[in-house]
Amino acid sequence: MIDNRSRRLSLPTYAKTATALRRLSNAEPETVTRVRTKSIDEIGTQLSQQLKLQQLNVKPRKKDITKVKLISMGDAGVGKSCIIKRFCEGRFSSKYHGTIGVDYGVKSVRFGANEVRINLFDLAGGPEFLSVRNEFYKDTQGGILVFDVTSRKSFEALNSWVEESHSFGAKSPEYFVLANKIEMPSRVVSEEEARGWAEDNGFDYFEVSASTGSRVMDVFEKLTSRILREKFGLNVY
């Protein structure tokens, strides 16, 4: 954890100097002025010396928080925002509000001795937002490819999402494929088909439900730990 405690400087000679000034209050004005100016100079010198000593004695700061950048990709309405809300806030909203442009979420977690801040950029799925979301692919370390098991169109669009991310600067990111809404009875994309596509493309595959929370936390834990190992060289599991 970052130590936010403030450090105070003590000036033990200041009180004595102030007392001396009060005792000289009945002296000639020129004398008082001369003594006060000298005392302020002395205090300034002492403060400078104490600052230097403090800088020499300050312990090295603990290692900064590791920051991980993740993005969400998938057609509009597949449940990307709900998955992120479930992860960041532990709750689900049944009301649908389409993402406009890009939304953002953050969550701090700990992996052993490593404190990690996960920054999630939720990219709007509509084609009209391409000019907005294309700015967020660069420097991403990983992400979730989400489709709706009740929508074959959203599953067939996964290829184009991967191609889009690479064309706008995502370099060797760690992607997990998420089959969302598995609680729905009207499923049209089977687990076997979807898992096969993910494996053929070198992606891990997860069946999740933003509504019930099934496996959502597991996804982000595994994705983040892999990024910490592969991108940061940290020994986490």
| pLDDT tens per residue, range 167-224 | 999 999 999 999 999 999 999 999 999 999 999 999 999 999 999 999 999 999 999 9
Distance (Å) of CA 203 to CA 138, 148, 183: 20, 17, 23
Share of the chain above pLDDT 70, in %: 73
pLDDT above 90 (res 47) = no
pLDDT above 60 (res 92) = yes
Residue 10 confidence class, pLDDT cut points 50, 70, 90: very low
| pLDDT tens per residue, range 153-183 | 999 999 999 999 999 999 999 999 999 999 9
Position 62 scores a pLDDT of 52
**In the predicted model, what is the mean pLDDT of residues 46-73?**
70
pLDDT above 80 (res 130) = yes
Residue 84 confidence class, pLDDT cut points 50, 70, 90: very high
| pLDDT tens per residue, range 18-40 | 444 455 455 454 444 444 455 66
**In the predicted model, what is the mean pLDDT of residues 76-91?**
95
Q: Which residues pair with 103 in a beta bridge?
A: 122
> Roughly what angle, to the nearest 10 degrees, separates helices 29-57 and 14-23?
180
Residue 12 confidence class, pLDDT cut points 50, 70, 90: very low
Report which of residues 143 and 60 the model is more confident about: 143
Rounded to the nearest integer, the mean pLDDT of the chain is 83
Tell me how far apart the alpha carbons of residues 15 and 19 are, in angstroms, rounded to a whole number. 6
Phi and psi of 122, rounded to 5°? -90, 105
Which two tokens mark 20? 């001396």
Position 8 scores a pLDDT of 33
Position 144 scores a pLDDT of 98
Q: Which residues pair with 107 in a beta bridge?
A: 118
**In the predicted model, what is the mean pLDDT of residues 143-162?**
98
Which two tokens mark 87? 């992860």
Position 174 scores a pLDDT of 97
Position 54 scores a pLDDT of 57
